[in-house]
Structure 1
Amino acid sequence: MKVHFIAIGGSVMHQLAIALSRKGYEVTGSDDEIFEPARTNLEKEGVLPATTGWEPARIRPGLDAVILGMHAKGDNPELQRALELALPIYSFPEYIYRESRDKRRVVIGGSHGKTTTTAMIMNVLAAAGKDFDYLVGARLEGFPQSVNITHAPVIVCEGDEYPASALERRPKFHFLFPHIAVVTGIAWDHINVFPTFDNYLEQFRIFIGMIEPGGVLIYNATDPVLKKLVEEHPSTVRKMGYGIPAYRIENGITLATLEGQSGSLKVFGEHNLLNMHAAFLVAKELGLDAAGFLRGMAAFPGAAKRLELIGKKEGVSIYRDFAHAPSKVKATIQAVKTQFPERELIAVLELHTYSSLNEQFLSEYKGALDPADKAVVFYSRHALELKRMPLLPEEKVIAGFGKPGLVVLQEKEELRDWLMEQSYKNANLLLMSSGNYDGLDVMELSSRITQ
């Protein structure tokens, strides 16, 4: 097989390129810029392009597949050349399906919890010695890549609702056709792609309709919107609702019970217990029992930037989380507050996505930060400029969140100074963002706070 990647430097694109190279395929690629760690990863595997930039000459007759990344635009010269030659062109998810047509496909979709649920399934399968391929949107401890394509009989995929490519604007998870599908919940986000809630909801309705005949849908029955959608959907696949399993918290440790079996967890929060229950139902479909599942879960440290513990000392814990959408922020804050009710909670949320920086969307965050004892909303002018969005007035942010005493900051130096001024005696710090606080070194900050 001869495969060429247009925009090979993408976070998952380069991982797929490496996986196919290891499988024995002849892999080439191009990009106009390749950053770390993709550059070093590709170089180690011998598939780093010799030069940057788009070169139509790289697109030649005889290629078995051209894989088009989201970074490539519709007028990309290599794409145009591939079209001229009538070569097979695939978006990333279309190609994943091509490689997994003969596998049993597990796809985890939903507005929140996709990465963590996928990671839980991967960890328990690995602990049980199961052979499987995977696609996940985060760095996971114990897995050197975020994409793996071999000859395994099963593939576990995180299903993204973002468009597949410049040519194919449908959501990525519409191309994976699962035998086992999970929907973790539905909460409107990505308003630049899905301008109305009904339009967003329709994508999940379509996804459910794409489950293979005889397949199973595992869904969050505590989400009323999702529950209604599933109950009204004409699909005849098996439908299994899940909820929060029985659990208790002892000395800051969560112990969960499934089918009469109990085990301790490193992760916590009711949203993670929901994720875990979904993962368990998938694992059962793949042959694991409750005892085996909980053994695998006992060592699961969580996914990177998903309630990730980045600093700790006596009476103080610092967590980093990817939360940015309103539902994710609410769930994450509630999790930390419930796990450590006796500690003060200092919460920082960066507005970084197109939706969160949109003045009309801010009301969706009403009450999201209320459980925090002290709260900061941070957003940078740089992020607004990159997205070509207008300035966001501070008073609009305060009104949108509706939290008394909310601090709004727009300079990373101000945020660093504010954080260093706080008392962390018997307190937790929760840093929530899908960005990087305009370049603020949160690991260095965490070290200073916990020294």
Structure 2
Amino acid sequence: MKHIHIIGICGTFMGNLALLARDLGFQVSGSDLNAYPPMSTMLAEQKIDVSTGYHPDNLNHRPDLVLVGNTISRSNPEVDAMLDRGMYYTSGPQWMYENVLRDRKVIAVAGTHGKTTTTSMIAWMLDYAGLSPGYLIGGVAQNFSDAARIGDGEWFVIESDEYDTAYFDKRSKFVHYRPRIAALLNLEFDHADIFNSIEDIERQFEYFIRTLPSSGRTIANFDDTRLGEVINRSSVSPIVNFSTSGNREADWYVDSQSEDYLHSHIHSSVHGSVDLNWNIPGQHNTANALAAIATVCEIGVNVETAIEALCHFKPVKRRLELLAEVNGIKIYDDFAHHPTAILASIDAVSKIDHPKRVIAIFEPRSNTMRMGIHGQNLVDAFDLADQVYMYRAPNVVWNDRDLDRDDFFIFDSVESLLASVSRELTSGDTVLVMSNGGFENLQNRLIEQLQNNSSILSIVNSKKQ
């Protein structure tokens, strides 16, 4: 049995790749500096050995192959040991193509926002239709027992992002995957730690689109002008467009929708009209659904079957996930870490719950956020929230003038933020916690604090009686 060791195993991509490697018969181990749920929990449950911290000793078992994660730098001591010992190494995306994707028909889902949810939807639709797809999803997909599976069918669905591949390969990860179908959701500036401009990102999308065969398909968001320009410059495969703004020039479009986005009338120039009635809030999720429907129908899934599958779709964890309701206070957990995604998530909980107040709690954790790149756009993204509580870690660089608003409260520790917001909340409030990291388990700590406050109040009231 060949042994693979993964440096940086706790990222969503590399952690799920570890599951696929294990299912293919490899022995798998790994190392990481930061491990937090849900990935740390999943790897432990799958009995994959993970060393905490990077150290040359982690390679003493002489693995046959080392996979180097894209967050790992050349100065990493484990990488240094790997090179000194002349060990065979490659990147995760390259390994994926050579060992999993090469002999499959690949559906790649790309875009700044919505990749994880749309990948989950497509994989679920194909599974519901009996096609037994393989998939790799960058999150915990609740319709499946695992976020990655080899599958028995010919199709493989992979979440595909534009972040770079490894310290020794600066191409975007998705360039490796060579799909037959690319579902392109949107295109905005992100990853300021590796891209200097939106044009740099556009160039990587062009490279990716050019890997599609002329017999393939490009599924594209018709409402995204920038994305459309990139596709028109690059694509040689037929383009299938979708629109949630009612644009009748698109191949698929939503021509009417309820205020809470739970009921949509969808029209297709080929498949006719259908109604989507489901329980997933947010216009952004309707766009994700439309992209998924358009994708699976291109490979022969009946549109009615696709709609039926969506009615049984369970949201990915940490995507507008309702964690608890305590004394009339709802607490949601969300992965939003870009102004567009933040605005969409706040809008969604506002429309679905009609709360007394929306209280947003935010951790600017991504490299782009820590660098303060989005500036005023980020502040404006919170306009639909009544109050905003932001944790500013020591490595967050901000212009304080951007945050000078009466409804913004900035904290230098999670503990002080938690204490302040727990005193502020009252029945009828909806709390939306947004972070793409662990946030020091703030979500569950807030729920526990509210439950404790409830218990104390009950005791006080009983004594008064």
Same structural fold, with TM-score higher than 0.5 when normalized by the shorter chain: yes
How far does residue 49 in structure 1 lie from its aligned partner after superposition?
A: 7.0
Aligned residue for 2:169? Answer: 168
Q: Does 1:257 align with 2:265?
A: yes
The AA in structure 2 aligned to 1:93 is P
After superposing the two structures, state which structure 1 stretch, 372-381 or 293-302, moved more: 372-381
How far does residue 424 in structure 1 lie from its aligned partner after superposition?
A: 3.2
How far does residue 70 in structure 1 lie from its aligned partner after superposition?
A: 2.9
Q: 2:8–2:69: 8 Å Cα contact kept in structure 1?
A: yes
Unaligned runs of 5+ in 1: none
SS, match of residue 56 in structure 2: coil
Aligned residue for 1:122? Answer: 123
What do residues 169-203 of structure 1 show as CA deviations (whole Å, max 9, x unaligned)? 21111111111101111110111110222112222
Summarize the alignment of residues 337-356 of structure 1 with structure 2, pairs less than 5 Å apart: 337-341=350-354, 343-356=356-369
Q: 2:115–2:159: 8 Å Cα contact kept in structure 1?
A: yes
Q: 1:359–1:396: 8 Å Cα contact kept in structure 2?
A: no
Is the alpha carbon distance of 1:313 and 1:45 closer, same or farther for their aligned partners in structure 2, counting shifts above 3 Å? closer
Q: Supply the distance in 1 between the matched residues of 2:256 and 2:331 (Cα, whole angstroms).
A: 24
Q: Which runs of 4+ in 1 moved over 4 A?
A: 32-47, 49-52, 55-60, 313-316
The AA in structure 2 aligned to 1:180 is I
How far does residue 10 in structure 1 lie from its aligned partner after superposition?
A: 2.7
Is the alpha carbon distance of 1:49 and 1:230 closer, same or farther for their aligned partners in structure 2, counting shifts above 3 Å? closer
Q: 2:183–2:219: 8 Å Cα contact kept in structure 1?
A: yes
Q: Supply the distance in 2 between the matched residues of 1:32 and 1:116 (Cα, whole angstroms).
A: 26
Q: Does 1:2 align with 2:6?
A: no
After superposing the two structures, state which structure 1 stretch, 114-123 or 312-321, moved more: 312-321
What do residues 244-264 of structure 1 show as CA deviations (whole Å, max 9, x unaligned)? 1245448x6712333433242
Q: Supply the distance in 1 between the matched residues of 2:421 and 2:47 (Cα, whole angstroms).
A: 44
Is the alpha carbon distance of 1:293 and 1:352 closer, same or farther for their aligned partners in structure 2, counting shifts above 3 Å? same
Is the alpha carbon distance of 1:159 and 1:358 closer, same or farther for their aligned partners in structure 2, counting shifts above 3 Å? same
Q: Supply the distance in 2 between the matched residues of 1:36 and 1:404 (Cα, whole angstroms).
A: 33
Aligned residue for 1:79? Answer: 82
The AA in structure 2 aligned to 1:254 is L
Match for residue 430 of structure 2 among 428, 431, 448 = 428
Q: Supply the distance in 1 between the matched residues of 2:348 and 2:203 (Cα, whole angstroms).
A: 30
How far does residue 117 in structure 1 lie from its aligned partner after superposition?
A: 0.7
How far does residue 159 in structure 1 lie from its aligned partner after superposition?
A: 0.4
The AA in structure 1 aligned to 2:197 is T
TM-score relative to the length of structure 2: 0.83
Q: Does 1:408 align with 2:410?
A: yes
How far does residue 360 in structure 1 lie from its aligned partner after superposition?
A: 4.7
Q: Does 1:31 align with 2:34?
A: no
Is the alpha carbon distance of 1:420 and 1:70 closer, same or farther for their aligned partners in structure 2, counting shifts above 3 Å? same
How far does residue 428 in structure 1 lie from its aligned partner after superposition?
A: 1.6
TM-score relative to the length of structure 1: 0.85
Aligned residue for 2:383? Answer: 370
SS, match of residue 383 in structure 2: coil
SS, match of residue 367 in structure 1: helix
Summarize the alignment of residues 262-281 of structure 1 with structure 2, pairs less than 5 Å apart: 262-281=275-294
Q: Does 1:398 align with 2:403?
A: yes
Q: Supply the distance in 2 between the matched residues of 1:419 and 1:35 (Cα, whole angstroms).
A: 27
Identical columns (%): 23
How far does residue 158 in structure 1 lie from its aligned partner after superposition?
A: 0.3
Unaligned runs of 5+ in 2: 245-253, 267-271, 455-465
Aligned residue for 1:135? Answer: 136
Q: Supply the distance in 2 between the matched residues of 1:35 and 1:353 (Cα, whole angstroms).
A: 16
Q: Supply the distance in 2 between the matched residues of 1:158 and 1:50 (Cα, whole angstroms).
A: 26
Q: Does 1:90 align with 2:90?
A: yes
Q: 1:117–1:275: 8 Å Cα contact kept in structure 2?
A: yes
What do residues 192-225 of structure 1 show as CA deviations (whole Å, max 9, x unaligned)? 1102221122221221112123111111111121
What do residues 19-39 of structure 1 show as CA deviations (whole Å, max 9, x unaligned)? 32333x342545366846767
Count of residues in correspondence between the two structures: 430
Q: 2:379–2:402: 8 Å Cα contact kept in structure 1?
A: no
SS, match of residue 444 in structure 2: helix
Q: 1:318–1:428: 8 Å Cα contact kept in structure 2?
A: yes
Q: Supply the distance in 2 between the matched residues of 1:292 and 1:446 (Cα, whole angstroms).
A: 38
Q: Supply the distance in 2 between the matched residues of 1:314 and 1:253 (Cα, whole angstroms).
A: 26
Is the alpha carbon distance of 1:34 and 1:112 closer, same or farther for their aligned partners in structure 2, counting shifts above 3 Å? closer
Q: Supply the distance in 1 between the matched residues of 2:71 and 2:112 (Cα, whole angstroms).
A: 22
Aligned residue for 2:461? Answer: none
Q: 1:8–1:17: 8 Å Cα contact kept in structure 2?
A: no
What do residues 255-302 of structure 1 show as CA deviations (whole Å, max 9, x unaligned)? 233343324212111111001000101111232222111211112221
Is the alpha carbon distance of 1:340 and 1:281 closer, same or farther for their aligned partners in structure 2, counting shifts above 3 Å? same
Q: Does 1:220 align with 2:218?
A: no
Q: 1:115–1:158: 8 Å Cα contact kept in structure 2?
A: yes
Q: Supply the distance in 2 between the matched residues of 1:436 and 1:77 (Cα, whole angstroms).
A: 29
Q: Supply the distance in 2 between the matched residues of 1:269 and 1:149 (Cα, whole angstroms).
A: 31
Q: 2:386–2:407: 8 Å Cα contact kept in structure 1?
A: no
How far does residue 41 in structure 1 lie from its aligned partner after superposition?
A: 5.6
Q: 1:3–1:28: 8 Å Cα contact kept in structure 2?
A: yes
Q: 2:109–2:158: 8 Å Cα contact kept in structure 1?
A: yes
The AA in structure 1 aligned to 2:409 is V
Q: Supply the distance in 1 between the matched residues of 2:352 and 2:26 (Cα, whole angstroms).
A: 50
Summarize the alignment of residues 44-59 of structure 1 with structure 2, pairs less than 5 Å apart: 48=49, 53-54=55-56, 58-59=61-62
How far does residue 90 in structure 1 lie from its aligned partner after superposition?
A: 2.8
The AA in structure 2 aligned to 1:318 is I
The AA in structure 2 aligned to 1:240 is V
